[in-house]
Structure 1
Amino acid sequence: MQFNLRQTFTIFFQKKRILLALSGVTLLFLHTGCHSESLDQKRSDAPSESSVQKPALKIADWRYVEEVVADNQGKIVVVDLWSTSCPPCLREFPDLVTLQKEYPTEVLCVSFNCDYFGGKNYPPEYYRKPVEKFLTEQKAYMRNIISNVPAEELFPTLDLASMPATYVYDRQGKLAKRFDNERREYGKEGYTYQRDVIPFVESMLKTDALKQ
């Protein structure tokens, strides 16, 4: 039996090409699989929108706030009136959150949103999504309320001209102080939590501690 040397080399190289092609396909498949697994892992590690804890949010009036204050006697209650259209309110809001985190058992912070202005096509529920988004970003895990009374009706009943405003109630449920800037006593920029509200609350806590 005679062997054709050229034919033998041709067959050898053809088999080699096939093996190289198969190897290339296998490596491509493995690389694609690993890459896909890596992307899947990244997706699973990234927090989904549904997994982010949203702060509780209730639609109610000021009477509900008074009920909350009455039900939490024994704690100092801080009620913050704010709006997403009020820059000073938004600037101070993180310090309200900080106050709640600093004194989780002795102080109860309540955010009372006043975005609702009484428009026929914009009921209080309309503001839930943007308010909830802001509260989630701020991690405001406290009592959060959207007013169901238009601001122009609410403010006269509170003898209040505008926001921001912060009400501080003592442990007996009585109003200890209202922070606003209607008389310009806090200067042009108004009161702040760091300079005014938090020191006032802490002084109340110290006074209560001395009485015990």
Structure 2
Amino acid sequence: MRKLHQVEAGQIMNTRWMVLGLLVAMCGCGKGTSPQPAMTPPAETVDVTSPKTMEVTTTVMDYQGIQMLVESYRGKVVIVDYWSTFCQPCIRELPGLVELHNKYPGTDVKCITVSLDYAGYPDEGPETYKDDVMPFLLQVGATFDNIIAADDSDTMLKKLELAAPPAVLVYGRDGKLAKRFDNEDAASEAEGFTYHDDISPLVAELVKAKP
């Protein structure tokens, strides 16, 4: 099962890098199949041979630990992006989180990614998924908190009351959830949320709300 999983993952990742290298224009894995206009490549991509890539790390953490991490950043605007390497809208939109990280100082905004790749197979642990998630995190330059969920994907989705990623949770400086973005009610991919149109304006508003 794991061998088949790795083969499929490799094929998907190869396709992703080719597409990301050209335009980062992928179709959704959500509820719609409508073609999307080409997306502008991330403003900054990271050369994997650069010393800066040493700043890109991953940590295995369970659901409770993730909530504690968010709480530890109280006083700042916190953005938590739940994603998967098998979710095409996730891959398309996550560079927007990197742009927000680069735009605001750490005193105002904290960014977190949570990979939901871990499937819970008995012969592997969540740490074995590092090789699956790191290539993309390195590619976009995700130099902030990157979590691999210790709970399997089904468990995480149930706790999040989510059918499938992507989902982005934005917390205000008071530590309370300001808004959750997901594609649960989207009739087509064209109706899915974006960082540019939906998340960035909210973050800008929350940043202005000084404690």
Map residues 11-22 of structure 1 onto 2, 5 A cutoff: none
Look up the match of 1:191. Answer: 193
- Aligned residue in 1 for 2:77: 76
Question: Whose helix fraction is larger, Structure 1's or Structure 2's?
Answer: 1
For 1:64 and 1:186, the matched residues in 2 are separated by: 33
Amino acid at match of 2:66: V
Which residue is 1:30 aligned to?
A: none
2:97 corresponds to 1:96: yes
> Identity of paired residues, percent?
39
Give the 3-state SS of the residue equivalent to 2:139 in structure 1: helix
Aligned with residue 202 of structure 2, among 200, 203, 206? 200
Residue deviations 1:63-118 (CA, integer Å, cap 9, x gap): 11111111111100000000111100000011100001101221100000010011
Match of 2:122 in 1: 120
**Greater RCO, CA 8 A, separation 6+:** 2
Q: Which amino acid aligns with 1:152?
A: D
Q: What is the distance in 1 between the residues matched to 2:171 and 2:81?
A: 11
Report the TM-score, using the length of structure 1 for normalisation: 0.71
1:142 aligned residue (144, 150, 155): 144
Verify the 8 A CA contact 1:54 1:132 in the aligned structure 2. no
Of residues 190-199 and 149-158 in structure 1, the stretch that sits farther from structure 2 once superposed is 149-158
Q: 1:48 to 1:179 in 2, by over 3 A?
A: closer
C-alpha distance in 1 between matches for 2:108 and 2:162: 27
Q: Mean Cα displacement is larger for which, 48-57 or 66-75? A: 48-57
Say which one has the larger Rg: 1
Deviations 1:22-78 (A, max 9, x none): xxxxxxxxxxxxxxxxxxxxxxxxx88484425121001121111111111110000
Deviation at 1:161, TM superposition (A): 1.4
CA drift of 1:183 comes to: 1.8
Q: Do the aligned partners of residues 136 and 183 (structure 1) sit closer, same or farther apart at CA in structure 2, a change above 3 Å counting?
A: same
Matched pairs, number: 163
TM-score, length basis structure 2: 0.71
Give the CA RMSD over aligned residues.
Answer: 2.1
Distance 2:74 2:58 in 1: 22
